[in-house]
Structure 1
Amino acid sequence: MSFPEFYEHVPRLRLRDPLAGLLGASADGILDYGYADAVRLAGHSCPTVAAAYWLTWRALTLLYGTALPVRGEIRVSFRQPRDEGVTGVTAAVVGLLTGAAGSEGFKGLGGRYARRGLLNFAATIPLELRFERLDTGARVDAAAYPQQVPADPAFSDLLAAVTFGTADAAARQRFGEIWQDRVARLLTEHRDDPAVFDLRVG
């Protein structure tokens, strides 16, 4: 499997998952995720998947500082309903990284390790998402504005050709290249740009 080279330049997220440790999935309970894992989950790489990954990385870094974030002990709320816009895609990536799940999630063992009910939607919050530590109540509100990173000028014409089936092999390849170029710029050149990634500690 070959991914674009820039994936390796996106910082990875290391967490401690007590449930993974307990059940022997990871001997030390440490799990390590990269952008490629989010792509594998979604089945594609796009600004939405990239923004979900990076907002989560940034939010957990703010919540835990130099300590390892604890997967399964983070509540995430979304301002929009699950089925509105790209909320569902974002929630899938956020859930992968944080362990948070909706009503379908893991019930827990003996009253511990529950993941169910840690993803909430249609919440009254100021930005798109809120990440909250269950142990301390510390929280970070977050939003991404990937539209601030424009696509290549050739994008619109190529998109039309791909959509209507008139693109040849070279045009399809070029379309994929400029699509990933925008994602790359979002995750490398603009990952610390407050106009693109807005995070506020509560």
Structure 2
Amino acid sequence: MSDLVDPDTDPTPRRGTERTNFQHLADADPIAVRDPLAEVLGVVPEGDPLVVGFPEVVLAAGHACPAVAGAYRATQLALDDLYPDDLPVRSDVAVEVGGEPDDHGLGPMANVVSHVTGADRETGFTGFGGYGGRENLLSFTDLDGPGRTFAFHRLDTDDSVRVSFAPGAVGMSPPGADGGSVTDLIPKLVAGEASAAERQRFYDQWHNRVQRVLRASPGEDSPFTLQHPQN
């Protein structure tokens, strides 16, 4: 612990997951990554991971939704595939995002991927003399795949995996109680016209959907598909 700041006596307000009064938050396994730059600067001991949890992604995005959850889970599946025996290493992972930054929901999904992997566009950190750099490790391009597709490349081994997320898969978009979609209530929620019962019904169904995405694994009727392109 640094002797510059004592968290027990320092009056500065703290902001983080321990102070956020989450009303609804789906549960997900955290993602551990190594960050060589953090090790060099003494943020963590050499070889120790930075652990990124879904609550941190929600704080960065400002909300939890199937798209944010899908990007988090897609990244988790990709890193597990590329690093079966080791911790993923930031600055050694490049990501291609299928589509354009202004495609509906795709920009926020790319932000989630960047938050976990460190891969960034031209505005990313250049590193110290190139060491630990993240710039130009994330790009948007055309990728074939069902739904939103992301290609993850491990730069030190040249291994790649492509993960597609199709939220319309069976069980991912359950209908509302009246047969309509749970999203039909959003206009009433935004306008402040939803009843307490309607708000609770929306919260329950919305976050149940987010939870299903976070727990899904590739397979039949899954929203996730993994492919290994020929290198």
Q: What TM-score, normalized by structure 1, do the two folds share?
A: 0.89
1:147 is aligned to 2:168: yes
Deviations 1:122-160 (CA, angstroms, capped at 9, x unpaired): x24323210001111110111101122123423255334
Q: Is the 8 A contact 1:59 1:140 kept in 2?
A: yes
Query: Aligned-residue CA RMSD in angstroms?
Result: 1.8
1:5 to 1:156, Cα distance in 2 relative to 1, 3 A: closer
Partner amino acid for 2:43? A
1:114 to 1:157, Cα distance in 2 relative to 1, 3 A: closer
Q: What TM-score, normalized by structure 2, do the two folds share?
A: 0.79
Q: How far apart, CA to CA, are the structure 2 residues paired with 1:114 and 1:157? A: 44
1:159 is aligned to 2:159: no
Q: How far apart, CA to CA, are the structure 2 residues paired with 1:97 and 1:178? A: 27
Partner amino acid for 1:184? Q
The alpha-carbon deviation at position 179 of structure 1 amounts to: 0.8
SS in 1 for 2:168: helix
Aligned residues: 198
Q: How far apart, CA to CA, are the structure 2 residues paired with 1:81 and 1:157? A: 27
Larger radius of gyration: 2
1:157 to 1:54, Cα distance in 2 relative to 1, 3 A: closer
Partner amino acid for 1:114? G
Output aligned runs, 1:74-93, within 5 Å. Answer: 74-93=93-112
Deviations 1:9-28 (CA, angstroms, capped at 9, x unpaired): x2211111101111122233
Q: How far apart, CA to CA, are the structure 1 residues paired with 2:136 and 2:25? A: 36
Q: How far apart, CA to CA, are the structure 2 residues paired with 1:124 and 1:173? A: 39
1:191 to 217, 222, 228: 217
Q: Is the 8 A contact 1:151 1:179 kept in 2?
A: no
Q: How far apart, CA to CA, are the structure 1 residues paired with 2:128 and 2:158? A: 23
Q: How far apart, CA to CA, are the structure 1 residues paired with 2:142 and 2:184? A: 39
Runs (5+) with no aligned partner, structure 2? 1-19
Q: Which has the higher helix share?
A: 1
1:22 to 40, 43, 56: 40
Q: Is the 8 A contact 1:21 1:30 kept in 2?
A: no
Q: How far apart, CA to CA, are the structure 2 residues paired with 1:60 and 1:33? A: 13
- Between the aligned residues of both structures, percent identity stands at 36
Deviations 1:80-127 (CA, angstroms, capped at 9, x unpaired): 011111111111100011000101110111122111000101x24323
1:104 to 117, 120, 123: 123
Output aligned runs, 1:115-154, within 5 Å. Answer: 115-121=134-140, 123-127=141-145, 128-148=149-169, 149-154=172-177
SS in 1 for 2:151: strand
Q: Is the 8 A contact 1:152 1:182 kept in 2?
A: no
Q: How far apart, CA to CA, are the structure 1 residues paired with 2:132 and 2:94? A: 13
Q: How far apart, CA to CA, are the structure 1 residues paired with 2:100 and 2:25? A: 34
